[in-house]
């Protein structure tokens, strides 16, 4: 094995960057970046409290199809899928912004994104981004600027977060 010593300038630059860009900042920005597109989609699906717009149900009834082998196939029970999607697109982003139940919310968005990918496969570049953000939040948690942290979720907090 070779023992490569990092050039002093590179080492110093890395240390400056690590101090400037703390993990909690990345986690906060990940939560916001993942929440925004789902929230924007979710608010378009509702007319009032628990009242879906007809267009939301119509999307799952006629426009959206599951692109699976031998398909595409229509969504079974489009009213239920529209309702669940609408709820998830509101609840999960709110939880992410608050940093409350972050791993649960990110897991929910991960599962929703898998279904979205089967529905709109040509959207894979952005779907891959959402999956990466969701999995990062599941793996490393919400960070210090979150209700989860205040409630005791300090798993996977890096050493620089404890400084």
| Average pLDDT estimate for 38-57 | 90
Q: pLDDT tens digits, residue range 53-89?
A: 989 999 999 999 999 999 899 999 999 999 999 999 9
Residue 12 within a domain: no
Taking alpha carbons only, the member of 24, 43, 138, 137 closest to residue 91 is 43
Residue 46 within a domain: yes
Range of the domain at 55: 24-161
Residue 33 within a domain: yes
Q: pLDDT tens digits, residue range 101-129?
A: 999 999 999 999 999 999 999 999 999 99
Q: What integer best gives the mean pLDDT of the chain?
A: 89
Place of tokens 């149900």: 57
Q: What is the pLDDT of residue 162?
A: 44
Instruction: Name residues whose C-beta falls within 8 Å of residue 57's C-beta, 6 or more positions apart in sequence.
Output: 78, 79, 82
State the total domains in the chain.
Answer: 1
Residue 141 burial by CB count (10 A; 0-12/13-18/19+): exposed, middle or buried? buried
Residues 82 and 52: beta-carbon distance below 8 Å: yes
């Amino acid at each position: 094995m070779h023992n490569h010593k990092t050039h002093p300038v590179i080492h110093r630059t890395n240390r400056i960057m690590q101090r400037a860009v703390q993990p909690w900042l990345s986690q906060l920005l990940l939560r916001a970046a993942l929440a925004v597109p789902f929230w924007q989609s979710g608010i378009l699906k509702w007319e009032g409290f628990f009242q879906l717009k007809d267009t939301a149900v119509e999307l799952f009834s006629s426009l959206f199809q599951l692109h699976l082998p031998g398909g595409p196939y229509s969504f079974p029970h489009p009213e239920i899928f529209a309702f669940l999607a609408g709820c998830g697109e509101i609840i999960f982003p709110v939880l992410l912004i608050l940093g409350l139940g972050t791993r649960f919310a990110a897991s929910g968005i991960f599962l929703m994104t898998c279904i979205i990918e089967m529905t709109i496969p040509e959207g894979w570049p952005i779907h891959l981004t959402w999956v990466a953000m969701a999995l990062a939040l599941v793996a490393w948690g919400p960070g210090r600027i979150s209700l989860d942290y205040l409630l005791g979720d300090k798993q996977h907090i890096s050493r620089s977060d404890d400084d």
